């Protein structure tokens, strides 16, 4: 195998895996289709096997091609992290920091911290990833992550913020029309808002509160933001952070004694970044913002 193959070849491979065609990969990368083809051919020659097969719908990865995806995605994350680090080596605090948070925290809470950061350090650039998927800090998918569970990797620098409590909430207009449930059995007569696909959170919630199961949900979405929007629109009863719900006087908590779900909240980053001024500034700002968020209760 030729050990001199550069990152641009692997970047083309990943683009073809994502796009399913040479032309789509070329558009995504801003290079020509023949260049992408040469990169893939060079990799196939180096590995001594085909990475794609042609079908009527485009290029399908072979078993060997599909097996490379995870490695190439890790390379892409590392390359992006390298670029962010290189771009920050200027005077003052600047450069790019990539942050992930759960959907609700990312949309409802983090922007407050970002506004303060940009006011103090206008050279900072923030890439915000609102997702409920746990981003890989060790492979530098992101620089900093806000997690609702305790980190387990020893290489991570972590700060516990406190507990965010989840409860059952409904809009006052929904309760005026359908009545307020006073015990768990009453939920059978209400529209419940929950997840479509089974998730670790849904399993944990069901263990604490057996009625909270997929079959009972009248409205389903795997997006926390969509669920929150449905609660605010008066569609039914769903799970919401109490501190978020308190910002809207029309949201009413129901069955407080029957259902309360605490979520541990942490700000984490790779320990190697403790010397990065830009990452430390963002880390501290997120800690301060989340402490204010939790203490609002």
Tell whether the model's pLDDT for residue 1 goes beyond 60.
no
First vs last C-alpha separation in the chain: 60
pLDDT at 238: 97
Tell whether the model's pLDDT for residue 249 goes beyond 90.
yes
Number of H helices, E strands in the chain: 12, 11
pLDDT at 78: 75
48: left (phi over 0), alpha (psi -120 to 50) or beta: left
Radius of gyration of the chain (CA): 23
CB-neighbour burial class of residue 240 (10 A; exposed 0-12, middle 13-18, buried 19+): buried
- State the average pLDDT over residues 223-248: 95
- Look at 121-125, 133-137, 266-270 and tell me which has the smallest mean pLDDT: 133-137
Number of C-beta neighbours around residue 1 at 10 A = 9
pLDDT at 260: 92
Q: What is the DSSP string of 217-282?
A: EEEE-S-HHHHHHHHHTTS-BEEEEHHHHTT-TTEEEE-TTT--EEEEEEEEEEGGGGG-HHHHHH
Higher confidence at residue 295 or residue 79? 295
Give the model confidence (pLDDT) of 18-65 as tens digits: 998 999 988 998 999 889 988 998 898 888 889 998 888 888 899 888
Higher confidence at residue 74 or residue 269? 269
Confidence of residue 208 (pLDDT cuts 50, 70, 90): confident
Q: Mean pLDDT in the chain? A: 88
Q: What 3-state class would DSSP assign to 98? A: strand
Token reading at 286: 């997120």
Tell whether the model's pLDDT for residue 187 goes beyond 90.
yes
Exposure string for 178-209, b = 16+ CB within 10 A, e = fewer: eeebeeeeebeebbbbbbeeeeebbeebbeeb
Q: Is the pTM here over 0.75, yes or no?
A: no
Residues in Cβ contact with 215 at an 8 Å cutoff, skipping those fewer than 6 apart: none
Phi and psi at residue 149, to the nearest 5°? -155, 155
Q: In the chain, pLDDT over 90 holds for what percent of residues?
A: 48
Q: Give the side-chain half-sphere CA count within 13 A for 92.
A: 8
pLDDT at 222: 92
- State the average pLDDT over residues 262-283: 88
Specify the pairing of strand 52-55 against strand 238-241: unpaired
Q: Which domains does the chain have, with CATH numbers?
A: 7-67 (1.10.10.10), 91-162+264-295 (3.40.190.10), 163-261 (3.40.190.10)
Confidence of residue 84 (pLDDT cuts 50, 70, 90): low
Tell whether the model's pLDDT for residue 273 goes beyond 90.
no
Confidence of residue 108 (pLDDT cuts 50, 70, 90): very high
Q: Please work out, in degrees rounded to the nearest 5, the angle formed at the alpha carbon of residue 268 by the alpha carbons of 262 and 274.
A: 155
Phi and psi at residue 290, to the nearest 5°? -70, -35
Number of C-beta neighbours around residue 130 at 10 A = 19
């Amino acid at each position: 195998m030729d050990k001199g193959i550069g990152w641009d070849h692997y970047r083309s491979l990943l683009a073809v895996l994502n796009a399913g065609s040479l032309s789509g990969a070329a558009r995504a990368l801003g290079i020509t289709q023949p260049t992408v083809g040469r990169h893939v051919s060079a990799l196939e020659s180096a590995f001594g096997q085909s990475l794609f097969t042609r079908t009527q719908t485009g290029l399908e990865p072979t078993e060997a091609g599909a097996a490379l995806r995870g490695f190439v995605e890790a390379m892409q994350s590392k390359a992006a992290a390298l670029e962010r680090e290189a771009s920050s080596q200027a005077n003052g605090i600047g450069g790019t920091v990539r942050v992930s948070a759960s959907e609700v925290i990312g949309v409802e809470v983090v922007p407050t911290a970002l506004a303060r950061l940009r006011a103090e350090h206008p050279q900072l650039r923030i890439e915000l990833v609102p997702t409920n998927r746990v981003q890989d800090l060790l492979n530098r998918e992101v620089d900093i992550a806000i997690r609702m569970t305790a980190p387990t990797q020893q290489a991570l620098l972590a700060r516990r913020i406190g507990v965010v409590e989840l409860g059952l909430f409904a809009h006052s207009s929904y309760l005026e029309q359908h009545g307020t449930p006073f015990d768990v059995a009453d939920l059978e007569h209400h529209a419940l808002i929950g997840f479509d696909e089974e998730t670790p959170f849904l399993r944990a919630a069901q263990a604490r509160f057996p009625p909270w199961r997929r079959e009972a949900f009248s409205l389903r979405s795997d997006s926390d933001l969509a669920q929150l929007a449905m609660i605010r629109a008066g569609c039914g009863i769903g799970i919401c952070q109490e501190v978020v719900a308190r910002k809207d006087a029309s949201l009413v908590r129901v069955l407080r004694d029957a259902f309360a779900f605490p979520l541990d909240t942490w700000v984490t980053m790779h320990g190697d970044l403790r010397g990065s001024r830009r990452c430390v500034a963002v880390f501290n700002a997120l800690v301060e913002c989340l402490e204010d968020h939790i203490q609002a209760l």
